[in-house]
Amino acid sequence: MIPLTVRLAAGTALLAALLGACSGKTASSGGGPDAGGACVNIDLSTYDQSCRQDSDCTLITPGEICPGDCSCGGATVNVSEEARYVAAVSGLQTGVCGCPAEESPRCIQNRCTLCGFGTTGACADAGGAPSCVTIDPTTYSTSCHVDTDCIDITSGTLCPGSCACGGTAVSASEQARYNAAVAGITSSACPCPSGGTPRCVQSGCVLCGPGGGPGCPDGG
C-alpha cells in the first residue's frame, strides 16, 4: 500500500504539470487569427446615403462583420462610398451563405433606400422597381438663336414603360441634363403622333406643326 504522503506528492506534481501545459494557451474568439482576421465595424451613419437617382446607390453590409459571417447586404449607400467599404472589409473572409432575395437599392426622396417585394412606406409610394422622374419644363432653358439650337423632349412624370413621344421644345444646351435625368427609365415603343418640329421663334424654342401653332410662322 502506497503511503498517504507519497500519494499527495504525486497528485501535486500531476496538477502542476497540467497547469504548466495550459499556461501557454489563449482562448480564441470568432475574430481571432484562426477565423481569418479581426472583426470590423461598418458604421452606416458615417457613410453618405444621399442620391439623385437609383444608379447613385449600392449595397453594403452594415454593423460588426467578423470572419465567417454572412455578407448579405442590408443597407445601401452612395456609390462614391464603395471603395471605402471594400477597403474596410478587404481583410475579412466572409462565409458562403444562402442570402435571401436581394433587395434593390433605390433613390427615394434623395436618399438611398432598400426596396424589395412587399415593401411599404416610401418604397411603396414610389411605385416599386426603378423610380419615376419628373421633367419640369419650366426649369429648362428655351433660349435660342436658330432652329438647330432647339430639341424636342418629353416632359412631365416619366416611369418605366412610359411613352417618350416628346412634346416640349427646349434649348439644345439642356440635352445632357435631360439625358442624365431619364437615364434609368426604359420607355416603351409607342406609336407616337407627330408632335411638330422644334423651332426657334423670337429667341425661344417652340414646337411648330404643319398648321403652325402659338408663335409659329404659318406653315410650320
94/75 Cα distance (integer angstroms): 17
85/92 Cα distance (integer angstroms): 12
Residue 35 contacts residue 66 (beta carbons within 8 Å): yes
User: pLDDT tens-digit profile of 41-74?
Assistant: 999 999 999 998 888 889 898 888 888 887 777 8
Cell of 50: 444621399
3/43 Cα distance (integer angstroms): 66
What are the E-state strand segments in the chain? Answer: 40-42, 57-60, 63-65, 75-78, 104-108, 111-115, 133-135, 150-153, 156-158, 168-171, 197-201, 204-208
Residue 181: per-residue pLDDT? 85
40/94 Cα distance (integer angstroms): 12
Residue 113: per-residue pLDDT? 85
What would the 3-class secondary structure string for 97-157 be?
CCCCCCCEEEEECCEEEEECCCCCCHHHHCCCCCCCEEECHHHCCCECCCHHHEEEECCEE
User: pLDDT tens-digit profile of 104-132?
Assistant: 788 888 888 887 644 545 665 555 445 67
Cell 482576421 -> residue? 37
The total number of residues shown for the chain amounts to 220
What share of the chain has pLDDT > 90, as a percent? 27
Kindly give the parts of the chain with pLDDT less than 50.
Answer: 4-36, 117-118, 120, 128-129, 219-220
16: Cα separation from own chain's centroid: 61
52/67 Cα distance (integer angstroms): 34
Side-chain half-sphere exposure of 184, counting CA atoms within 13 A:
17
